[in-house]
Structure 1
Amino acid sequence: MKINNRRYTGSKYKLMPWIKELILENCPEHDSLFDVFGGTGVVTAELLDITTTNIINDFLFSNEVFYKAFFEQKKFNKNKLECYKKKYNELDKNSLKENYVSLNYGDKYFRYNDAKLIGFIREDIQVNFENKNLSEKEYYILLTSLLYSFDRCANTVGHYEAYIKGKKIKSEFIFELIEPISTTNKILIFRNDANELAKIVKADIAFIDPPYNSRQYSRFYHVLETIVKWEKPELVGVAMKPPEENMSNYCRNAAPKVFEELITNLNVKNIVVTYNNTYDSKSSSSRNKITLEQIKEILEKKGKTQIFETNYNRFNAGKTSASNHKELVFITRVGDYNE
């Protein structure tokens, strides 16, 4: 499985050829890239061939694990990983004992027996890492492979805010390995508050694709976060969520203020911001916390700003209209670097 083979709200994978062309045409310097809100990591992955240094950041624990699995250039034993894959796919689900995943997510987010298998594999990966049977890189690859594999059979609409009720879960879990990315680029991985990190990072380009609406990503992907951290907290509510953490101000009314703080503190030559026009959505949770006009006003204080747009069918859970949807890209040439 490749880095783009997962479901993720707001993923820019299909837009990357267009975005990459815009960067090449409008950003004279592009050796170093600061991917401020890394998400799936596909932006960094798709721009590796036009950069030499990549700084990628996201505040989700699961995304940090994915970045280490795909991007860190550390040695690993592929044959060993294939043996783990074979072992996991030959397990008899019916004979496995109940575990944290099956008790909480069985017949909800996954088939009950699949949940038993997922829980067994997660514990087995942890035990083998702690017993030094796995290197750190092998640990991250297996853990990411587990999450990418169960994402294919999860009983959801594409995120984990809730599971689909009233229907038989048809998909079946199969453990597949991811394909780590080989690169000679310098890769720096962070799980920091973006606004704090912006104060210390220097780069040619800052790529910014923040969460704009009230849907918190830490809640959208709580199942991934819980299984990655493996602290086994008590889960509550119909959706089986852990206690709140990593709640972003970009999903609150403070969004314009924190966005302006971010832009002000960036030490870069070019700023690329992606934006979609859901600010006029009928759904309050989908409606953007920052308007197009606010984005433009904030960026223009930093330097000359151009706006590009394209038609794009965004992710839609089926409850709100997504007609006439456009994806916009702002490219700002920071004032100190204007020709």
Structure 2
Amino acid sequence: MPKINLPVTRYYGSKRKLVDLIWSELENINVEFNSVLDVFGGSGIFSYYSKLRGKSVIYNDIFLFNQIIGEALIQNNSNELSEEDVHNLLIREPNRIYQNYIAENFHDIYFTDEENYQIDTVIQNIGFLPIERRASAYYLLFQSCLIKRPYNLFHRKNLNLRTNFNGGGFGNKVTWERPFKELFLKFNSELNKYVFDNGQNNISLNHSALQCNLQADLVYIDPPYFRSVNHVPYHSKYHFLEGLANYNLIPENIDHTKLHREINLNKSNEFENKNTFLNDLEELIEMHQNSIIAISYRSNGVPTIAEIESLLNQYKNNVRAINLKKYSYALNSKGSENYEFLILGF
């Protein structure tokens, strides 16, 4: 097995700094499992760690852009994208007709005009790559778009935060201004280091949580968190990347009433409504009641840890709610103390 060396993730709520603790608790229950289903795959960190541990992994996410990232990191056993491919992604071929959906619709919102033009170019050139190289190319684009954004998010029109940046604790001006070509080469080098074959058949799927009915020995559930105020759905945070993954559908799905021009693709009410969250979670638990169930949640979430624990008790003989550690995310570092919990049912 390769040395445990995890990709750096730029997602709100990523478990990169907690996955060692999560895995230790899974080992402590002394219940064997050979396959893992990561229902809310997100950054892919739990799936990737499971792959490192030699498990057969099913990565799933409702967003197509995440499914593609899962394909690049989890499903693929090698990175077939060459440096020459990377260089060619940013060049417009004279015999091709290019659209300019990003340049035409997102001026002064997320990226500079030149960068918008480059994004249009790259996303269309990816479609001409051999199919086995496309997920890697998308990975480079998605990670580069994230790293060039203040807070790595897309729910606000705030290019000015980057262009007028005079210092502060929320970003890195040098990184934001690095050209796409440089970032692509960096992330392609990282893929060469991170992607490997663990001898298992690992797959990446694109379903909503309640439509993902594949089974595994262990089901990992890391759903959206609701705070008492100012909840921003994950779709709003990452809609731009979902638009890029569905490039030809962008023009007809832009919400021009919003300053940040949210792209209304693959929105879902599943696990995005406080009033129905527990019902959704019960349906998911019932679907996987024959598996070991591991749920990540936070002490300040709505519903509460106690409510989730009580629900899991209805389906499992052994339930443990384990306080992992005090932990804060970039946009959620102030205020009351928050703790990460792992709720296990087996």
2:327 counterpart of 1:327:
no
The whole-number CA distance in structure 1 between the counterparts of 2:160 and 2:78 is 45
Q: Which residue of 2 aligns with 1:266?
A: 288
Structure 1 pair 159–278 and aligned structure 2 pair: CA distance change class (3 A) = farther
Q: Point out the more displaced range, 65-74 or 221-230.
A: 65-74
How far apart are 1:98 and its partner, in Å?
A: 8.8
Q: Could you report, residue by residue, the CA deviation over 1:170-198 in whole angstroms, capped at 9, with x for unpaired residues?
A: 52232322506212122122211222324
How far apart are 1:90 and its partner, in Å?
A: 8.1
Report the 3-state secondary structure (helix = DSSP H, G, I; strand = E; otherwise coil) of the residue aligned with 1:330: strand
Report the 3-state secondary structure (helix = DSSP H, G, I; strand = E; otherwise coil) of the residue aligned with 1:249: coil
Report the 3-state secondary structure (helix = DSSP H, G, I; strand = E; otherwise coil) of the residue aligned with 2:75: coil
Q: Which residue of 2 aligns with 1:94?
A: none
Q: Is the 8 A contact 1:195 1:262 kept in 2?
A: yes
The whole-number CA distance in structure 1 between the counterparts of 2:61 and 2:6 is 15
2:224 counterpart of 1:207:
no
Report the 3-state secondary structure (helix = DSSP H, G, I; strand = E; otherwise coil) of the residue aligned with 1:8: coil
Structure 1 pair 44–322 and aligned structure 2 pair: CA distance change class (3 A) = farther
Q: Tell me the amino acid that sits aligned with residue 158 of structure 2.
A: I
The whole-number CA distance in structure 2 between the counterparts of 1:135 and 1:144 is 15
Q: Tell me the amino acid that sits aligned with residue 160 of structure 1.
A: F
Q: Which residue of 1 aligns with 2:168?
A: none
Q: Is the 8 A contact 1:276 1:328 kept in 2?
A: yes
Q: Which residue of 2 aligns with 1:250?
A: 271
Q: Which residue of 2 aligns with 1:223?
A: 240
Q: Tell me the amino acid that sits aligned with residue 189 of structure 1.
A: S
Structure 1 pair 233–269 and aligned structure 2 pair: CA distance change class (3 A) = same
Structure 1 pair 314–248 and aligned structure 2 pair: CA distance change class (3 A) = farther
Q: What are the ranges of 5 or more consecutive residues in structure 2 without an aligned counterpart?
A: 93-97, 164-172
2:62 counterpart of 1:59:
yes
The whole-number CA distance in structure 2 between the counterparts of 1:100 and 1:145 is 20
2:251 counterpart of 1:233:
yes
What percent identity do the matched residue pairs reach? Answer: 20
Report the 3-state secondary structure (helix = DSSP H, G, I; strand = E; otherwise coil) of the residue aligned with 1:69: helix
Q: Which residue of 2 aligns with 1:283?
A: none
2:132 counterpart of 1:137:
yes
Structure 1 pair 244–65 and aligned structure 2 pair: CA distance change class (3 A) = closer
Report the 3-state secondary structure (helix = DSSP H, G, I; strand = E; otherwise coil) of the residue aligned with 2:18: helix
2:101 counterpart of 1:103:
no
Structure 1 pair 209–167 and aligned structure 2 pair: CA distance change class (3 A) = closer
Q: Which residue of 1 aligns with 2:126?
A: 125
Q: Is the 8 A contact 1:31 1:50 kept in 2?
A: no
Q: Tell me the amino acid that sits aligned with residue 56 of structure 1.
A: Y
Q: Is the 8 A contact 1:68 1:137 kept in 2?
A: no
Q: Which residue of 1 aligns with 2:326?
A: 312
Q: State the TM-score, normalizing by the size of structure 1.
A: 0.82
The whole-number CA distance in structure 1 between the counterparts of 2:108 and 2:6 is 28
Report the 3-state secondary structure (helix = DSSP H, G, I; strand = E; otherwise coil) of the residue aligned with 2:344: strand
Report the 3-state secondary structure (helix = DSSP H, G, I; strand = E; otherwise coil) of the residue aligned with 1:161: coil
The whole-number CA distance in structure 1 between the counterparts of 2:76 and 2:109 is 37
Q: Is the 8 A contact 1:7 1:151 kept in 2?
A: yes
Q: Could you report, residue by residue, the CA deviation over 1:223-280 in whole angstroms, capped at 9, with x for unpaired residues?
A: 100111102224222001123533232110110111011111214431111111223x
How far apart are 1:138 and its partner, in Å?
A: 0.4
Q: Tell me the amino acid that sits aligned with residue 161 of structure 1.
A: H
Q: Is the 8 A contact 2:239 2:265 kept in 1?
A: no
The whole-number CA distance in structure 2 between the counterparts of 1:83 and 1:40 is 27
Q: Point out the more displaced range, 262-271 or 55-64.
A: 262-271
Q: 1:193 aligns with which of 188, 204, 208?
A: 208
Q: Point out the more displaced range, 160-169 or 33-42.
A: 160-169
- Report the count of equivalent residues: 306
Structure 1 pair 305–12 and aligned structure 2 pair: CA distance change class (3 A) = same
Structure 1 pair 42–74 and aligned structure 2 pair: CA distance change class (3 A) = closer
Q: Could you report, residue by residue, the CA deviation over 1:149-179 in whole angstroms, capped at 9, with x for unpaired residues?
A: 121112x323211132543525223232250
The whole-number CA distance in structure 1 between the counterparts of 2:12 and 2:29 is 27
The whole-number CA distance in structure 1 between the counterparts of 2:335 and 2:206 is 32
Show structure 1 runs of 4+ deviating over 6 A. Answer: none
Q: Tell me the amino acid that sits aligned with residue 122 of structure 2.
A: I
Q: Which residue of 1 aligns with 2:154?
A: 160
How far apart are 1:89 and its partner, in Å?
A: 6.5
Report the 3-state secondary structure (helix = DSSP H, G, I; strand = E; otherwise coil) of the residue aligned with 2:111: coil
Show the 5 A alignment for 1:285-296: 288=302, 290-296=303-309
Report the 3-state secondary structure (helix = DSSP H, G, I; strand = E; otherwise coil) of the residue aligned with 2:345: strand
Report the 3-state secondary structure (helix = DSSP H, G, I; strand = E; otherwise coil) of the residue aligned with 1:189: strand
The whole-number CA distance in structure 1 between the counterparts of 2:8 and 2:153 is 14
Q: Tell me the amino acid that sits aligned with residue 13 of structure 1.
A: R
The whole-number CA distance in structure 2 between the counterparts of 1:243 and 1:90 is 29
Q: Tell me the amino acid that sits aligned with residue 233 of structure 1.
A: P
The whole-number CA distance in structure 2 between the counterparts of 1:55 and 1:321 is 35
The whole-number CA distance in structure 2 between the counterparts of 1:244 and 1:98 is 19
Q: State the TM-score, normalizing by the size of structure 2.
A: 0.81
Q: Is the 8 A contact 1:6 1:151 kept in 2?
A: no
